[in-house]
Amino acid sequence: MDIQAGMAAYVSGAGSGIGRGIARVLASRGVRVGVADIRGEAAEETVALIAADGGQAVALEVDVSEKASVEAAADAIEGAFGPVSIVCNNAGVAMHGVPVHEFSSAEWDWVIGVNLYGVIHGIQTFVPRLIAAGGPGHVVNTASIGGFQVNAAFLTGPYSTTKYAVVALSEALSNELAETSIGVSILAPAAVNTSIHLSERSRPDRLGGAYVRPENHFMGELIRDGADPLEIGRQVAEAIEDDALYVFTHPETEAWLEARCGRILAGYDRLKGDRSGARQAAE
């Protein structure tokens, strides 16, 4: 899909990090952006940056874990800029550092509510509108490299559970929209210089409110020298124009996926009678 000036976009989690990078890059291309974030003041900051660069945007306080909030955002963007053509379901929270069996039910509710239901709600809200508008359109769902492999060192089980689901959901959506003019991309970044390790400051009151979660904070050091969110935004814009399904941003992660695929294929070797795990060992 060609990104054209005057189009409208929805970008969730756009008050900081990757979402802000996507919003700013789209705005630099003349797209009018609905900047959605659960932290309204952070959305306003992004809008101010876009305005300073000569772009157009509107700040929207949105809790993506609630469908009604996403629907209200869609109505607001359409009221300000007209039908949405680009949908970026980007909002996410990090929930690392705790074994799966120790993860509380409240934390499961939160990470699933944002990372998975946030994407579901974006799809439910915007895809029917994209279809009704007749396209072209594009949906970008932010997964993670954690949606393709689980990093044992960082205890990312709950986070990766949601991100694997985003990958499957997006692949299904791509299949279902194949005969339309609506494209789908799965964004799968690794280390990006964002504040995702401070996700807990944004937990809504209905799920317990803001708090301090020190188990996440080790990530701050790891991602400090990570990719620039604006560079990720540029890669997203290119993926939209290329109608690319998979958007990998860090070349070094290819080896991680090769290792995982080797372990999977070793299971087939065993099925065929090779119980030595030779292929897995070779990886």
Q: Please give, one letter per residue, the 3-state secondary structure of the chain.
A: CCCCCCCEEEEECCCCHHHHHHHHHHHHCCCEEEEEECCHHHHHHHHHHHHHCCCCEEEEECCCCCHHHHHHHHHHHHHHHCCEEEEEECCCCCCCCCCHHHCCHHHHHHHHHHHCHHHHHHHHHHHHHHHHHCCCEEEEEECCHHHCCCCHHHCCHHHHHHHHHHHHHHHHHHHHCCCCCEEEEEEECCCECCCHHHHHHHCCHHHCCCCCCHHHCHHHHHHCCCECHHHHHHHHHHHHHHCCCEEECCHHHHHHHHHHHHHHHHHHHHHCCCCCCHHHHHC
Active-site residue (options: 10, 117, 159, 164):
159
> Catalytic site residue 164?
no
Active site residues per annotation: 159
